[in-house]
Every structure is written in C-alpha cells, then in structure tokens.
Structure 1
Amino acid sequence: MINRDKNTQQNQNKLVIFTRNTSSTQPMGYRVHRNVQVLIEKCERAGYQVNKVYSEPSLKSPNKVRPVLKQMLKDAANGYFGVVVVWDVFTLASDGDELQQIERELARYDVEICSLKEHIDTSTEEGLRVFEYMSKLLNTRHLELAAMQGIPLSQVATWLMEEENMKEGEICE
C-alpha cells in the first residue's frame, strides 16, 4: 500500500466509469453511450456518485495509442478516485497481459476495479486468482464461447481453477 494524504484518502470513495467501443462494426458511440447510462444508473441506485466518465473510441490504429486509458491511470496515480466501474473486465483491455498490467497499476494506487457483469474481488487472494485466470482466458476462444452461452468469464475461470485443483489433488494422492 502507498501512503496517501488526507485529500487522496477522501477520494477513495469516489468512483469513475471507464468504457470503450469494443467493436469497430458498431455505430460510433452507440454501445458506449448505452453502457455508460446503465452504469451511471446502477451506481446512483447503489448510492454512489459518478465523478467522471472515461470513454475511449474503438482503436483502428495499429500502434494502439490509448490516451483516455493513460489519462485515467494518471488520475488514479494522483488519487482522484478509488474505484473504476466497467461493464466487463475486458472493457479495460482485450489482451489478457495488458489487462493484468492495468489491474496491477491500479492496485498500486489502491484503486479497485468493479465490473457490472463479473463479480470478482481482487482484494482477496481467491479473487485475484480468478482475475488472473480471466485474463489468461481473454487470449483464447473461451471468451467468445462463454459470451455465446451467456456465461460470465469469471465463472469459466472458477471452473478451470476447480478442475486444476482436482488434478493437483489426484497427483498428490
């Protein structure tokens, strides 16, 4: 944990929304606008005030310059908020390695990721393990298959962890 001054600690209860258009085939901003409205409504119903919305367009450049994400990480480093709310975790990044890097950076600043679709708690060892598995799954077909079946990626990750634990138990016997 990093030490924070009084103003930064007060910002721990503030939250922001991060969203991006994850498909270049969708009308520009349509899904992003819809997701933001739903996220704001859910946060407000739960008694939270959304302080800022970071909205990133779909990336068409090959070098993946992400100024909106970089600004959000800079604001996190400055202690402007304590929670990032996303539709699902791959809103932050569609690459598992990049997603884990973002999560680690936010954790360094004591910023929590909260997903509408995925119920994970990266502040616990178990939750962090599920998140790591989810990140690995992003680079496989599991994401597409889970989405087609309406299964949260966190559930697929939990099943894989359970299967791995059972196999480890068989080896130890």
Structure 2
Amino acid sequence: MLFGVAAVLAAALVLQFGFGEAPCPLCLLERVGMFGACFGLMMHFRPGDSVRAAGIGLVSATFLLVVSTRQVLLDIVPRPGHAYVGSAVLGLHMPVWAVVIAAALIAGFAGRLALFGAAPRDARRSPRVARLAGWAGLAVVALAAVNLAAVLLQCGFGECRAAG
C-alpha cells in the first residue's frame, strides 16, 4: 500500500510540473491526507507500538476521505464556465481517485486492527521487507519535501489559488 500511495503522490507532482496543472487548495489538502497515511504505513515497519501507527493512518485516511468527498460533491455538476479541474486518469479525476484510495486505506487499517489487534511485531524478522519499506519511506519523505517546496514556491505563506 505504501508504494501505491507514494506512486499516486509522485504522479500528482508529475502532472503539476510536467503538464502545468496547478493543484487547487483542496487537492493540496488531499495530498496532506495521503502523506499522513503514508507516515502511518511507514510506522508499521518500525519495532514497537503498531496501534498508534494504525491510528495515525486511520485518522489521515479519514481526513483524506472527507476532503476528497467534499471536492467531488462540489464538482459533480460544475457551475457554468467552470470545467472540472485536472486531467482524467482511466476515466476518473484525482478527487474521485482520492475517495477510492481513502476507502481502501481505511479498509486496510481497520482490517489490520481487526485481524491483528495490538500484537507486537518485530521488523527484524523479515529484513528484506524492512529494507524495502525503508527505501519506500525515504521516497515518501523526499516526495513530501519536494511537495512542500513546490507549494511554498507556488503559494508562499498566503492563500493558494489555482485556475479553474
């Protein structure tokens, strides 16, 4: 799941820089929710309390679901002269994909809690998975840094406005 969400975040940056699609304020909030879910997923690969990691991921995924659902409901019937913002991927726009991703993340975190509870785990039992998760975690941190720099360059410390 971590690689999937990281790939979506990387694709959002490619659309932003490669195709000149400036993200709207709600899109930026969706990215915050995805990064929070990624950090919750990354914490699962550390030794120690796993319930806290699932809680952080669950709260972030719920935030993502609320924000993306609001954006989908705002744009279901675009107002006159206002086209749907962004490109469609496989027929769906990013806010709709964010709803799907948020639902999958919530189901994953809730399933993890329901099936395994607070059972302690040891990341050293599978060093290959731990190493792979470490690389994925570094990629997510790098994506977060690039995203933060892009937002600061685009918006500064004020309100961020996108065309559309």
Higher strand share: 1
User: TM-score range, shorter-chain basis?
Assistant: under 0.3
Query: Relative CO higher for 1 or 2, CA cutoff 8 Å, sep ≥ 6?
Result: 2
TM-score of the pair, normalised by structure 1: 0.26
